[in-house]
Amino acid sequence: MTAHGILRLRSDVLAAVRRFFFEGDFCEVETPVLVRSPGMEPHLRAVAVGDRYLITSPEYHMKRLLARGMERIFQIVRCFREDERGRHHAREFTMLEWYRAGAGYEAIMDDCEHLIGALLPLHRGSANLDAPFERLTITEAFARHGGPDPAALPEDEFFRALVERIEPTLEKARPTILYEWPARYAALARLKPTDPSVALRFELYAGGLELGNAFDELRDAEEQRRRLLAEQAQRRRRGQEVYPIDEHFVAAVGAMPPCAGIALGLDRLLMLLAGAQHIREVQAFPEDEG
């Protein structure tokens, strides 16, 4: 596609995404881009601006809205992550994030199928985006491709196996949801009540690209604080900047209703729809031209 054609496609996709959520009775929200406490996960490095940071995700503030009584919310927002550069990564990118109160992450899985289905008339690439999506537990995915028990692997070996063994098999497959991650990778997800060795988390893949990361959301404020303190300690051990804990967010976690949500990389989805090979192809002004 031409550069002009891709920008037209981007505009059409943004309109279609908004239409999808409005028809589903979601409310579009806006939350701060400059915050005191960005995401704490050790793989994230925020961009500092004075005494604050540009968001790595709008997650904290969107969950505060859920705690205030919002039920179905979505946001299309620019996010920023230092050191993220590559064919599928950019320091500045567009995130689509949505949450459902009163629902589990299975409802978010269904949303993903229906949303991508609604975008199929705009599909210009070759990636298989057809429903139904395959749904595999992480353990099933590793067993299918001759991998060891993922729960028994050290963190670096787990992610190496995921990238080298599992993800390449998904390139030509239909979209795939990998769910029930080992509990150590729960992040902001709650653990499965009947099996606390796994977290109610899933990642969505299409065309070999990881598109989204979803949680059945943790609602235990003290457990959330323990996880944030553990991540602070891990960042300190690695010599990374240690961000302050967002106390408003922690309080909100304890006040949220049962809910689930997902962060989906809109630029990556556009890559698949456009048949683009590099994220810069779907951005009007890549970083080196900004």
Report residue 1's pLDDT band, with 50, 70 and 90 as the boundaries.
confident
* pTM score of the predicted model: 0.95
Report residue 85's pLDDT band, with 50, 70 and 90 as the boundaries.
confident
Encode pLDDT of 193-205 as tens digits: 999 999 999 999 9
The full DSSP string for the chain is --HHHHHHHHHHHHHHHHHHHHHTT-EE----SEESS----TT--PPEETTEEE-S-SHHHHHHHHHTT--EEEEEEEEE-TT--SSS--SEEEEEEEEEET--HHHHHHHHHHHHHHHGGG--S-S--PSSPEEEEHHHHHHHTT---GGGS-HHHHHHHIIIIIGGGGSSSSPEEEEEEEGGG-TTBPEETTEEEEEEEEEEEETTEEEEEEEEB---HHHHHHHHHHHHHHHHHTTPPPPPP-HHHHHHHHHPPSEEEEEEEHHHHHHHHHT-SSGGGGSSS-GGG-
> Is 70 exceeded by the pLDDT of residue 290?
no
Strands 191-192 and 176-182, by their bridges, are unpaired
Give the residue from 267, 284, 290 showing the smallest Cα distance to 3.
284
> Is 90 exceeded by the pLDDT of residue 5?
yes
Domain extents for the chain? Answer: 3-289
Please state which architecture CATH assigns to domain 3-289.
Answer: 2-Layer Sandwich (3.30)
Length of the chain as a residue count: 290
Report residue 86's pLDDT band, with 50, 70 and 90 as the boundaries.
confident
Cis peptide before 121 (omega within 30 of 0): no
- Rounded Cα distance between 199 and 182, Å, is 6
Encode pLDDT of 224-270 as tens digits: 999 999 999 999 999 999 999 999 999 999 999 999 999 999 999 99
